[in-house]
A and B are shown apart, each in its own frame.
Chain A
Amino acid sequence: ELKVEQNPLFLSMQEGKNYTIYCNYSTTSDRLYWYRQDPGKSLESLFVLLSNGAVKQEGRLMASLDTKARLSTLHITAAVHDLSATYFCAVDRAGANSKLTFGKGITLSVRP
Chain B
Amino acid sequence: DTEVTQTPKHLVMGMTNKKSLKCEQHMGHRAMYWYKQKAKKPPELMFVYSYEKLSINESVPSRFSPECPNSSLLNLHLHALQPEDSALYLCASSTPGGLRNQPQHFGDGTRLSIL
Q: Are A104 and B98 in contact (CB under 8 A)?
A: no
Spot the interface stretch: A11-19, A40-48, A63-71, A76-84: A40-48
Q: Are B105 and A45 in contact (CB under 8 A)?
A: yes
How many Å lie between the Cα of A38 and that of B12 in the bound state?
23
Q: Interface majority SS on A: helix, strand, loop or mixed?
A: loop
* A33–chain B nearest beta-carbon distance, Å: 5
Q: Does A75 contact B (CB under 8 A)?
A: no
| Interchain Cβ contacts within 8 Å, total number | 61
How many Å lie between the Cα of A30 and that of B107 in the bound state?
24
Q: Are A42 and B108 in contact (CB under 8 A)?
A: yes
A55-112: which have CB < 8 Å to B? 88, 92, 94-100, 102-105
Q: Are B101 and A96 in contact (CB under 8 A)?
A: no
Q: Are A96 and B97 in contact (CB under 8 A)?
A: yes
Chain B hits for A21, CB < 8 A: none
In this complex, what residue of A is CB-closest to B6? Answer: A42
Known: A88-B42, A103-B42. A42 touches B107 (CB 8 A): yes
Binding site for B on A (CB under 8 A): 31, 33, 35, 40-45, 48, 50, 88, 92, 94-100, 102-105
